[in-house]
Amino acid sequence: MITSRDNALIKKVIKLHTAVGRKKAGQYFTEGIRSVDQALDVKAPVAEVIFSDRVHGLGGGGELMDRVREAGLRTVEVSENLFKAMCDTESPQHIMAVIDIKECDREGILSIKEPLLLIVDGIQDPGNLGTIIRTADGAGASAVLLLKGTTDPYSPKVIRSTMGSLFSIPVLREKDTGELFDTLHKKGIRLIASSPEGGIPYWDIDFRGGIGIIIGNEANGISEQVMEYSDQSVMLPMPGRAESLNAAVACGVLFYKALEQRLT
């Protein structure tokens, strides 16, 4: 059992709380019985499972540890106090998985017939991004493409907000917006930008075929560069007095409208 914060593994996990640490290690972590169980369900590239003995006293904890061992994964036991020091949550469930970051293959995604893509332009709030990813996954999106300036999808708060969807839907971090959109247009994918400042009401948009729905920054919306590449601008009419909708709410409205059309 590890009890010292000076242990190399413990130091590494603590650094995974930061974007710099995750980038350097090429790893992130997820906490909790349900989240680790979901990671095993989809065969995520788990490097090690870290736990304290208290996990065996929690509902499903003992069964999960049996499953971890049956999968042949590396396990590391730490003291209860040390586990708490490593966590991002105030009431930890005493198990976490350290997972290798595997960048998804864009070409494989774009080879899908008539893909439904979510394109995120500059979302900064981790909870918003996590909910947006979860919503896209629920609506059957093919992948999530994150443009430069969007918050790190592997931060603990994003992972918790996705409720496991980060493990089940491809997420790509794009560096060159222009190159990405040129590629999408060459593949015949229409780019539909959500904008509160005008456009076609969402119920009049054709969401069938290969499309990419763009959701912009919470405060500033979609950047000028991205708007220039978009093929259509879609609006969510707001006859009430609210000035704007939460980005995750807008994402839900658009993706479930797309789902409705694509299923009928």
Span 121-161, pLDDT tens digits? 999 999 999 999 999 999 999 999 999 999 999 999 999 99
What is the structure's pLDDT at 220?
85
Same domain, 86 and 123: no
| pTM (predicted TM-score) | 0.93
Distance, in Å, from the CA atom of 136 to the CA atom of 214, rounded to the nearest integer, reads 12
Q: Is residue 2 part of a domain?
A: no
165-168 LR contacts (CB < 8 Å, sep 24+): 165/133, 165/134, 165/136, 165/137, 165/138, 166/130, 166/133, 167/38, 167/39, 167/41, 167/42, 167/44, 168/38, 168/42, 168/137
Say if residues 62 and 104 touch (Cβ distance below 8 Å): no
Q: Is residue 85 part of a domain?
A: yes
Residue spans of alpha helices (H) in the chain:
8-15, 19-25, 33-41, 61-70, 80-86, 106-110, 126-138, 156-162, 165-168, 177-186, 224-229, 247-263
Q: Domain ends where: 61, 77, 100?
A: 100
Helix, strand or coil, per DSSP, at residue 187: coil
For the record, the structure tokens of 240 come out as: 């009430």
The domain total for the chain is: 2
For the record, the structure tokens of 211 come out as: 């499309």
Same domain, 134 and 228: yes
Q: Domain ends where: 49, 84, 100?
A: 100
Same domain, 21 and 128: no
Q: How far apart are the first and last CA of the chain?
A: 56
Q: Is residue 241 part of a domain?
A: yes
Output DSSP code: residue 223. Answer: -
Say if residues 47 and 100 touch (Cβ distance below 8 Å): yes
Same domain, 242 and 112: yes
| 119-128, 152-161, 191-200, 211-220: range with lowest mean pLDDT | 191-200
Same domain, 159 and 250: yes
Q: Is residue 188 part of a domain?
A: yes
**197: pLDDT confidence band, cut at 50, 70 and 90?**
confident
Same domain, 157 and 138: yes
Q: Find the domain containing 233 and state its range.
A: 106-263
Region of 26 (left: φ > 0; alpha: ψ -120 to 50; beta: rest) is: left
What is the structure's pLDDT at 130?
97
Per-residue pLDDT tens digits for 24-58: 999 999 999 999 999 999 999 999 999 999 999 99
